[in-house]
Amino acid sequence: MEIIAKDLEANDQRPTTMSKPAKDLDKRERIVKRIARELRDGFYVNLGIGMPTLVANHVPSGIQVVLQSENGMLGIGPYPIEGQEDPDLINAGKETVSEMPGTSYFSSTDSFAMIRGGHIDLSVLGAMEVDEEGSIANWTIPGKMIKGMGGAMDLVASARRVIVAMEHTTREGQPKILKKCTLPLTGSKVVDTIVTEMAYIRVTPTGLVLEEIAVALTFDDVQRATEARLIPSPTLRTMEA
Amino acid sequence: MNKVVANSEDAIRDVPDGSTIMIGGFGLCGIPENLIRALARKGTKNLTTISNNVGVDGYGMGLLLAAGQIHRHIGSYVGENKLLEQMVLEKKIDLELAPQGTFSERIRAGGAGIPAFFTPTGFGTIVADNKETRDFDGRMYVMEHALKADFAFVKAWKGDKWGNLVYRKTARNFNPMMATAAKITIAEVEYLVEVGEIDPDLVHTPGIYVKRIFQGEQYERRIERKTVRPVVGC
CA end-to-end distance (rounded Å), chain A: 21
Average pLDDT over residues A178-188: 98
**What residue numbers bound the domain in which A36 lies?**
2-238
Banded pLDDT at A61 (limits 50, 70, 90): very high
Banded pLDDT at A8 (limits 50, 70, 90): very low
Q: Where is average pLDDT lowest: A77-91, A162-176, B78-92, B171-185?
A: B78-92
pLDDT in tens, B186-234: 999 999 999 999 999 999 999 999 999 999 999 999 999 999 998 765 4
Q: How far is A69 from chain B (nearest CA, A)?
A: 9
Distance, CA of A182 to CA of A135 (rounded, Å): 10
Q: Which residues of B touch A107 (CB under 8 A)?
A: 104, 172-177, 204
**Closest partner CB to B172 (pick from A69, A93, A105):** A105
pLDDT at B166 over 90: yes
- The mean of the pLDDT values for chain A is 91
What is the average per-residue pLDDT within A116-124?
98
- Banded model confidence at residue A23, pLDDT cuts 50, 70, 90: confident
Q: What span, in angstroms and rounded, lies between the C-alpha atoms of A164 and B88?
A: 29
Is B168 within 8 Å of A188 when comparing Cβ atoms?
no
Q: Do A107 and B119 touch (CB under 8 A)?
A: no
CB pairs under 8 A between A and B: 195
pLDDT over threshold 70, residue A18: no
Of B75, B223, B227, the CB nearest to A148: B75
B178 to chain A, closest Cα gap in Å = 11
Residue B232 pLDDT = 64
Distance of residue A34 Cα from the nearest chain B Cα, in angstroms = 24
Q: Which residues of A touch B177 (CB under 8 A)?
A: 107-109
Across chain B, mean pLDDT equals 96
With contacts defined as CB-CB under 8 Å, which chain B residues touch A113? 105
State yes or no: is A129 an active-site residue. Answer: no
CATH classification of the domain holding A55: 3.40.1080.10
Residue A20: what pLDDT?
57
Give yes or no for residue A90 having a pLDDT over 70. Answer: yes
Q: Which of A2, A9, A38, A70 is labelled catalytic?
A: A70
pLDDT > 90 fraction of chain A, expressed in percent and rounded: 85
Question: Where do the structural domains in chain B lie, given as residue ranges?
Answer: 8-116+147-215
What pLDDT shows up at residue A21?
65
Mean pLDDT of A136-165: 95
Give the pTM: 0.93
Whether B102 and B75 have beta carbons less than 8 Å apart is answered as no
Q: Is A188 within 8 Å of B125 when comparing Cβ atoms?
A: yes
Confidence class for position A24, pLDDT limits 50, 70, 90:
confident
Task: Please indicate whether, in this complex, the C-beta atoms of B99 and A153 are within 8 angstroms of each other.
Answer: yes
- Per-residue pLDDT, A4: 41
Q: Report the number of distinct structural domains present in chain A.
A: 1
User: In this predicted complex, what is the ipTM?
Assistant: 0.96
Handedness of CA B80, B64, B99, A185 (dihedral sign): positive
**Under 8 Å between Cβ of A100 and A112:** no
pLDDT of residue A241: 66
- Greater confidence (A210 vs A143) lies with A210
Q: Min CA distance, B62 vs chain A (Å)?
A: 15
Contact residues, chain B, for A153 at CB < 8 Å? 99-102, 121-122, 125, 127
Q: Give the pLDDT band (50/70/90) at residue A70.
A: very high
What architecture does CATH give domain B8-116+147-215? 3-Layer(aba) Sandwich (3.40)
Residue A108 has pLDDT above 50, yes or no: yes
Look at A16 and B40; give whichever has higher pLDDT: B40
Average of pLDDT values for B96-111?
98
pLDDT tens for B31-86 read: 999 999 999 999 999 999 999 999 998 899 999 999 999 999 999 999 888 899 88
CA distance A155 to chain B (A): 8
Residue B220 CB contacts under 8 Å (≥ 6 apart), including other chains = B33
**Average pLDDT of the segment spanning A142-171:** 95
- In this prediction, residue A161 has a pLDDT band, given cuts at 50, 70 and 90, of very high
B-contacting residues of A 104-163, CB under 8 Å? Answer: 105-109, 111-113, 115-116, 135, 143, 145-154, 157-158
Nearest by CB to residue B229, choosing from A78, A99, A157, is: A78
